[in-house]
Amino acid sequence: MKTLSTIFYFFLLCVIVFVRCTGDKSSVSIFPKVIHPMDNQSTEAKIALGKRLFFDKRLSLNNEISCASCHQSKLALTDGKSIASGVEDRLAFRNTPSLYNVAYASRFMYDGEIKSLEEQVLVPILDHNEMGASMGVIIKKLKAIPEYQDAAREVFGRDFDAWVLTRSIACYERTLISDNSDFDRYYFNKEEGAISESAKRGWKLFSEKLKCTACHILPYFTDFKMHNNGRTSMNSADLGRFRINNDSTDIGFFKTPSLRNCGLTAPYMHDGSLETLDDVIEYYAKGGGQGVNQERRIKPFVIKENEKNDLKNFLKSLEDY
- Residues near ligand HEC, by CB under 6 A: 59, 65, 67, 69-71, 84, 86, 92-94, 96-97, 99, 102, 105, 108-110, 117, 120-121, 124-125, 130-131, 169, 173, 210, 212, 214-216, 227, 229, 231, 254-257, 259, 262, 265, 268-270, 280, 284, 295, 297-298
How near is the Cβ of 7 to ligand HEC at its closest, in Å? 56
| CA–CA gap between residue 81 and residue 97 (Å, rounded) | 11
Bond from prior residue into 219 cis (ω within 30 degrees of 0): yes
Burial 161-181 (b: 16+ CB within 10 A, else e): eebbbbbbbbbbbbebebbbb
* Residue 96: closest CA among 269, 294, 247: 269
Nearer CB in complex with ligand HEC: 105/164 = 105
Q: How many CA atoms lie within 13 A of 181 on its CB side?
A: 29
Nearer CB in complex with ligand HEC: 178/229 = 229
For residues 291, 123, 224, 111, the Cα torsion angle rounded to the nearest 10 degrees is 20
What separation, in Å, do the N-terminal and C-terminal C-alpha atoms of the chain show? 54
How near is the Cβ of 311 to ligand HEC at its closest, in Å? 6
How near is the Cβ of 82 to ligand HEC at its closest, in Å? 10
| CB-based contact 108:102 (threshold 8 Å) | yes
Nearer CB in complex with ligand HEC: 7/91 = 91
Q: Give the DSSP per-residue string, 20-41.
A: HHH--GGG--SSPPPPPPTTS-
* Residue 93: closest CA among 128, 61, 119, 68: 128
How near is the Cβ of 177 to ligand HEC at its closest, in Å? 14
| CA–CA gap between residue 87 and residue 133 (Å, rounded) | 9
How near is the Cβ of 223 to ligand HEC at its closest, in Å? 8
How near is the Cβ of 110 to ligand HEC at its closest, in Å? 3
| CA–CA gap between residue 115 and residue 109 (Å, rounded) | 9
How near is the Cβ of 259 to ligand HEC at its closest, in Å? 5
Nearer CB in complex with ligand HEC: 96/317 = 96
| CA–CA gap between residue 293 and residue 314 (Å, rounded) | 29
Cα dihedral sign for 86, 142, 78, 219? Answer: positive
| CA–CA gap between residue 117 and residue 11 (Å, rounded) | 48
| CB-based contact 299:209 (threshold 8 Å) | no
How near is the Cβ of 15 to ligand HEC at its closest, in Å? 43
